[in-house]
Amino acid sequence: MKHVTEKKERDRAVIEALVRRYGPISRAEIRELTHLRWSSISPIVRELINEGNLVEVGPSSNPMGRKQTLLRLNEENGYIVSVDFDADTVSAAVTNLRPRIKSKVTETTCLDGDVDGLVHQLFACAHEAIRQAGVQRKKLLGIGVADPGLVNVREGISVISATIAFWKDVPLRKLFEEEFGVPVILESSTRAQALAERVLGAGERADDMIYVEYGKGIGAGITIEGKSLFGHNWVAGEFGHSPMVENGPACGCGSFGCLEAIAGLSAIEARCRKAIGEGSKTRALEISDGDPRKITGWTVLKAAKLGDKTCLAIVGELEKYLGWGIASLVNIINPSIVVLDHRLGYAGDGFLEEIVRVVRKQALGISTANLKFVYGTLGSDAGLLGAGLTVLERLFEIPALKPPRFMIERSVIDAVADHRRAWACE
């Protein structure tokens, strides 16, 4: 939480954040929502317009009474660079302040090198996105990076990744800030996607939401009372490492029988190849041009949608274990909506229906009452948009006017100590 010492500075942040959230909006509506005085609103709005932060967009459409001039955020008054990557793909984009993507660069992740090689690729993609967007460097307000592993958000460090073996203890925020010279926020890709789906996509700004990311890893972005859940050591949401069966297959985390090891993308891919090796006929081979080496977990999902029996059986196991895991989260978190990774939709509409059935069977009835299940709607851009939103949320954060309590308490302690020292000298 940012802190300011002047009321005008806080009022300015309140007005700017309000226009961003609800604009186009009139000065009268700002007064109604904030209860600020006209003598405060008018000069601040004029100042924000003169600086190019806000723009007037014409009169309101109210049928009666005086027409009010509407205000909205000048979405082109600054830009954000977003970077999202995993073991398969690196993407970078430049967004405006809506955020809306102005340019996008996507490449296959280069894992042949080490940390330096991957960092160089991230930089190169970001530089290319900036070049393609044609924006001035002085207009860049910040960079958001969505990392595929466990991250320490406070320190800006990529701690570890279960899918990129060499990606450990990388000071990614520091490296990006040295390269680009603007503030950088590092976030987990799962939480970034969850934020994007909640604010811009299927989550409908729900206060309590679970987002399930599915791929080689399985993660959960958890929102409680409108805030992302991080946990004491930033590990909240490591859903894929929930134990499912005793003495199960080895997991990349070092444990056995985890959800990820049983039902992750690599697991169902391996199960399909094993079935083929044992003589099973499957349309997954047709989709993969008859080459078993080209079969991926996504291939299995798509073949299941086509009615392939082998792949339907494999996806049935995925539905069961994933449903069990989500049921546990639903009992613990009690969300109003569960948003599933849009790629799970490759398996067809029946997949979502089966997940709903399993969760309603396994979770408490009161936990699933009025619970909504949907696929994400932002597609492959969710991570990029979420990375950008983490920066925007920080930029438009409403600061506290007073210092935090511990600072006030420390001031009192210091004052008492000074008084005692003065008394001792007398």
Residues in contact with 101: Cβ distance below 8 Å, sequence separation at least 6, in sequence order? 93, 94, 95, 381, 384, 385
User: Range with the lowest mean pLDDT among 92-96, 121-125, 291-295, 408-412?
Assistant: 408-412
**CA angle at residue 182 from 227 to 77, to 5 degrees?**
80
pLDDT band of residue 318 (cuts 50, 70, 90) is very high
* Spacing of C-alpha 408 from chain mean position: 34
Is 425 contained in some domain? no
Alpha helices by DSSP H, listed for 185-238, are 189-200
pLDDT of 130 above 70: yes
- Distance CA(258)–CA(42), nearest Å, equals 58
Mean pLDDT, rounded, for 169-173: 98
49 plus 186 within the same structural domain: no
Residues 344 and 297: beta-carbon distance below 8 Å: no
Mean of the per-residue pLDDT values for the chain?
91
pLDDT band of residue 266 (cuts 50, 70, 90) is very high
221 plus 354 within the same structural domain: yes
Q: What is the CATH number of the domain that holds 178?
A: 3.30.420.40
- Distance CA(336)–CA(301), nearest Å, equals 27
- Distance CA(205)–CA(43), nearest Å, equals 32
pLDDT of 402 above 80: no
Going through 22-109 in order, the beta strands assigned E by DSSP cover: 25-26, 54-59, 69-73, 79-85, 89-95, 101-108
pLDDT of 133 above 70: yes
The residue with tokens 């723009």 is: 55
59 plus 83 within the same structural domain: no
What pLDDT is attached to residue 410?
52
Statement: the pTM of the whole predicted model exceeds 0.85: yes
User: Range with the lowest mean pLDDT among 80-84, 180-184, 279-283?
Assistant: 279-283
268 plus 300 within the same structural domain: yes
* Spacing of C-alpha 62 from chain mean position: 37
Terminal CA-CA length for the chain: 42
Tokens of 99: 């955020």
**Bridge-partner residues for 264, per DSSP?**
none
146 plus 224 within the same structural domain: no
pLDDT of 215 above 50: yes
Rounded percentage of the chain residues whose pLDDT exceeds 90: 78
pLDDT of 409 above 60: no
What pLDDT is attached to residue 404?
57
pLDDT band of residue 412 (cuts 50, 70, 90) is very low
Mean pLDDT, rounded, for 83-100: 96
Is 401 contained in some domain? no
Is 342 contained in some domain? yes
- State how many domains the chain has: 3
- Distance CA(45)–CA(14), nearest Å, equals 11
Q: Which strands form 54-59's sheet, in the order they lie side by side? A: 25-26, 69-73, 54-59
- Distance CA(402)–CA(5), nearest Å, equals 7
**Helix 189-200 and helix 382-395, axial crossing angle in degrees, nearest 10:** 80
265 plus 354 within the same structural domain: yes
DSSP, collapsed to helix, strand or coil, labels residue 56 as strand
- Distance CA(43)–CA(66), nearest Å, equals 21
What pLDDT is attached to residue 201?
96
Mean pLDDT, rounded, for 355-364: 97
Rounded percentage of the chain residues whose pLDDT exceeds 70: 93
170 plus 243 within the same structural domain: no
Candidates 196, 222, 210; CA nearest to 368 is 210
- Distance CA(186)–CA(143), nearest Å, equals 9
Q: What is the CATH number of the domain that holds 45?
A: 1.10.10.10
pLDDT band of residue 45 (cuts 50, 70, 90) is very high
pLDDT band of residue 29 (cuts 50, 70, 90) is very high
Is 421 contained in some domain? no
- Distance CA(186)–CA(148), nearest Å, equals 11
Is 405 contained in some domain? no
Pick the last residue of a domain from 20, 55, 75: 75
Residues 269 and 296: beta-carbon distance below 8 Å: yes
Is 234 contained in some domain? yes
281 plus 240 within the same structural domain: yes
Task: Report phi then psi at 142, rounded to 5.
Answer: 175, 170
105 plus 186 within the same structural domain: yes
158 plus 219 within the same structural domain: no
Mean pLDDT, rounded, for 67-87: 94
Mean pLDDT, rounded, for 81-98: 96
Pick the last residue of a domain from 334, 351, 377: 377
Structural domain boundaries enclosing 348: 210-377
55 plus 117 within the same structural domain: no
Is 31 contained in some domain? yes
pLDDT of 96 above 70: yes
pLDDT of 293 above 70: yes
Is 399 contained in some domain? no
* Spacing of C-alpha 397 from chain mean position: 17
Neighbouring CB atoms inside 10 A of 360's CB total: 18
pLDDT of 349 above 90: no
42 plus 84 within the same structural domain: no
What pLDDT is attached to residue 3?
78
pLDDT of 411 above 80: no
pLDDT of 47 above 70: yes
pLDDT of 232 above 50: yes
Tokens of 224: 């409680």
